[in-house]
């Protein structure tokens, strides 16, 4: 699993009580039960975790964990 | 010695009529769990038919004056976005009903940041020696501007009022307002608005459409903005006051939504247990939410004399602001 995906999986486990077993590159946020409110919460947590800014509507429930990691990567975050 | 505004009295008032989540569920497509999990709110208070914002403001103001051991104030600043009438301001009537005489009295409209803005105005009146004491009230009756069919806003908002008395003193005293930081971003004024009934709509010459007089709120964007702005504002006020956030005993933020409070605490890296909350009982009472939370914090023993406290508001406009103070010993009625 990509390093960003692993860190995202950790965030999902710590902040959203989603077991790492349920997280895979191809799993969509919708499948992980993210709704409009939890998507905003996820965006805020990702901002803090990766030191990035996530714009309104940038994170959607049709995105997979792989897409989410790609979004983080596109913002120029360095792998820690 | 420089002159500071010192908080010397606190009062709050919420109307007695309770609306529970179950009652809302009986007439809207919602249920207790839906509301609780999304907002943390179990019930809210609403005014009776024919009542108005001034009625709540007078009750809260009376209690704050009593708490401060006085019957007078040199000025009254009322934070509200739901005035009794569009014109004139509500504050003069409140001052009159509190027998404050012909003191200066005016409204401040900064929606949910209104109380912090009004504190800044009150502190300014004291700093310039325009007044030696100021009654600052936050009062709103958002139940009067909600669409009966909008579950999102009806679940969130409640009515209430809270007030404090500021007196001229020194910055060394407990209760002195140590740092006041305010901000706004009018480019996002559409996030929380009541579009109808104002000059923009009336100048069209078309009759006011009832739907246009109801509050609209873009929940997702408001959530993110609230967390961003409040966490930045609290951080800046902590830094300017010279208080590392770990040394702040209590954060009293605008009671918008329990999940906004949790997300802000997380962003600030501070335990949510140090954030005073009463949103489950009162919902979002707009300009009244911070003084109502202060009153509940004192009543529950969460907020104690000597505590380092940071207050922070965020609301429509967009507007935001924070203030730092050491909580004083008060007589609360």
ipTM: 0.84
| Residues belonging to chain A with any Cβ–Cβ distance to chain B shorter than 8 Å | 15, 36-37, 39-41, 43-45, 48, 56
The pLDDT value recorded for residue A77 is 64
Contact of B307 with chain A, judged by CB distance below 8 Å, is answered with no
List, for residues B37-83, the tens digit of each pLDDT value.
999 999 999 999 999 999 999 999 999 999 999 999 999 999 999 99
Provide the b/e sequence for B161-200 (b: ≥16 CB within 10 Å): bbbbbbbbbeeeebbbbbbbbbbbeeebeebbbbebeeee
pLDDT-based confidence at residue A3 (cuts at 50, 70, 90) = confident
* Predicted pLDDT at B333: 57
> 3-class DSSP state for residue B176?
strand
Residue for token pair 């709103």? B140
Pairwise CB contact (< 8 Å): B224 & A48: no
pLDDT band, very low/low/confident/very high, at A63 (cuts 50, 70, 90) = very high
Angle, helices B114-127 vs B289-300, to 10°: value is: 90
Inter-residue contact B5 to B179 (CB < 8 Å): no
Tell me the pLDDT tens digit for each residue of B115-151: 999 999 999 999 999 999 999 999 999 999 999 999 9
B227 and chain A: CB distance < 8 Å anywhere?
yes
* Percent of the residues in chain B that have a pLDDT greater than 90, as a whole number: 94
Q: What is the pLDDT of residues B234-260, one digit of tens each?
A: 999 999 999 999 999 999 999 999 999
Q: What is the pTM of this model?
A: 0.94
Which residues have CB under 8 Å from B174's CB, separation 6+? B6, B305, B306, B325, B326, B327, B328, B329
Is the predicted pLDDT of residue A51 greater than 70, yes or no? Answer: yes
**B9-34 tens-digit pLDDT:** 999 999 999 999 999 999 988 899 99
Residue of A nearest to B268 (CA): A48
Question: Rounded CA gap, B73 and B101, in Å?
Answer: 9
Q: Closest Cα to residue B309, out of B248, B240, B262?
A: B248
Classify the phi-psi angles of B50: left when phi > 0, otherwise alpha if psi is within -120 to 50, otherwise beta: left
Q: Are B256 and A70 in contact (CB under 8 A)?
A: no
H-helix segments, chain B: 21-25, 32-39, 53-67, 91-97, 114-127, 151-156, 199-202, 219-241, 258-268, 279-282, 289-300
Query: Would you name the residues of B annotated as active-site residues?
Result: 112, 254, 284
> Scanning the structure block, which residue is given the tokens 């040394």?
B247
> Residue B263: which of A39, A44, A56 has the nearest Cβ?
A44
Question: How much is the pLDDT for B256?
Answer: 95
Residues in chain A within 8 Å Cβ distance of B224 = 40, 43-44, 56
pLDDT computed for residue A21 by the predictor = 86
Token pair listed for B223:
């959530």
Mean pLDDT of A8-13: 92
Cβ(B332)–Cβ(B298) under 8 Å? yes
Nearest CB to A56: which of B221, B227, B263?
Answer: B221
pLDDT, tens digit, for every residue of B82-119?
Answer: 999 999 999 999 999 999 999 999 999 999 999 999 99
């Amino acid at each position: 699993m990509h390093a960003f995906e692993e860190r995202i999986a950790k965030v999902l486990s710590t902040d959203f009580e989603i077991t790492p077993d349920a997280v895979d590159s191809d799993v969509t946020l919708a499948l992980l039960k993210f709704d409009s409110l939890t998507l905003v919460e996820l965006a805020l947590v990702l901002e803090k975790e990766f030191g990035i800014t996530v714009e309104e509507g940038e994170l959607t429930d049709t995105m997979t964990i792989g897409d989410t990691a790609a979004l983080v990567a596109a913002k120029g975050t360095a792998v820690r | 010695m420089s002159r500071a505004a010192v908080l010397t009295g606190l009062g709050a008032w919420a109307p007695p009529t309770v609306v529970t989540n179950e009652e809302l569920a009986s007439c809207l497509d919602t249920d207790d769990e839906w509301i609780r999990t999304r907002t943390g709110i179990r019930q809210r208070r609403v005014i009776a038919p024919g009542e108005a914002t001034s009625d709540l403001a007078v009750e809260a103001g009376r209690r704050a004056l009593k708490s401060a051991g006085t019957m007078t104030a040199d000025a009254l600043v009322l934070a509200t976005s739901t005035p009794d009438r569009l014109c004139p301001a509500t504050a003069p009537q409140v001052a009159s009903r509190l027998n404050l005489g012909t003191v200066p009295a005016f409204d401040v409209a900064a929606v949910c940041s209104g109380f912090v803005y009004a504190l800044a105005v009150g502190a300014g009146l004291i700093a310039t020696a325009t007044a030696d004491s100021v009654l600052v009230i936050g009062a709103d009756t958002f139940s009067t501007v909600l669409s009966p069919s909008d579950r999102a806003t009806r679940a969130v908002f409640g009515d209430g009022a809270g007030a404090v008395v500021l007196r001229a003193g020194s910055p060394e005293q407990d209760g002195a307002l140590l740092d006041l930081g305010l901000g706004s971003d009018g480019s996002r004024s559409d996030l929380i608005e009541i579009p109808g009934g104002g000059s923009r709509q009336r100048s069209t010459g078309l009759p006011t459409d009832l739907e246009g007089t109801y509050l609209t709120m873009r929940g997702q964007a408001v959530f993110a903005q609230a967390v961003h702005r409040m966490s930045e504002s609290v951080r800046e006020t902590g830094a300017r006051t010279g208080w590392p956030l770990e040394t702040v005993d209590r954060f009293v933020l605008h009671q918008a939504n329990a999940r906004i409070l949790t997300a802000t605490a997380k962003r600030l890296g501070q335990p949510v247990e140090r954030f005073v909350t009463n949103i489950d009982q009162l919902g979002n009472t707009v300009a009244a939410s911070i003084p109502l939370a202060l009153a509940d914090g004192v009543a529950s023993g969460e907020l104690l004399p000597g505590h380092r406290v940071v207050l922070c508001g965020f609301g429509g406009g967009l507007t935001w602001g924070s203030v730092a103070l050491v909580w004083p010993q008060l007589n609360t009625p």
